[in-house]
Amino acid sequence: MINDDKRSRNQIRKYSDSIVTCLDSQSPPVVLKKVLEYLEKELQLTIHTQSRSLSDNLSGIYVRSNDTVGIMYNSNHSVNRQRFTVAHEFGHLVLGHAHKDPEHKEIGDINSEDDQEREANIFASELLMPFKWLKKDMKDKSFTTLELSLRYRVSELALGWRLSNSNALLLS
């Protein structure tokens, strides 16, 4: 868990990389069930996830009560968006964010100005598209954006956001 008030992308990347390393994953996609099991053990929590029909503008909800966490994600969204939503909600958990009333929370905006939403988006993108894998795949010029989004099981929007926020690092 990262306990700073405001975290850098680098701190979030290191934490998400440590999770992927502990899962012993070697290539995409990251298996969220394994992440859930890892987080339950590491944080000594019970985490329940559930797919529900939510309003179109609501991607997911994270709530915590003592040692139990509930994550609901929108069953009306694509599987890839659901994956990003669950990873985003995991981000709120590991970054120590307090849950907010979903009626008053900006949800689903990948370019949100809210610090907690931005951090959770960074965590989700770093977890689902680890830098070391993405950099390796970007060196293979045969992958199109669509092929990469399918490989990582993320939306093209999430992949585009990830690439635009990592461009300088990927070119090095």
pLDDT tens per residue across span 19-68: 999 998 889 999 999 999 999 999 999 999 999 999 988 999 989 888 99
Query: Where are the chain's structural domains?
Result: 9-171
* 50 beta partners: 72
Which pLDDT does position 143 carry in this prediction? 84
Residue burial 86-122, b: 16+ Cβ < 10 Å; e: rest: bbbbbbbbbbebebbebeebebbebebeeebbbbbbb
Which pLDDT does position 142 carry in this prediction? 79
Coil vs helix vs strand at 87: helix
Per-residue pLDDT, averaged over 84-98, amounts to 93
pLDDT tens per residue across span 92-146: 999 988 766 554 444 455 566 778 898 999 999 999 999 889 888 888 777 888 9
Which pLDDT does position 104 carry in this prediction? 40
Which pLDDT does position 18 carry in this prediction? 94
Which pLDDT does position 17 carry in this prediction? 93
2 pLDDT tier (thresholds 50, 70, 90): low
Percent of the chain with pLDDT over 90: 58
Whether residue 78 contacts residue 71, with contact meaning beta carbons closer than 8 Å, is answered with no
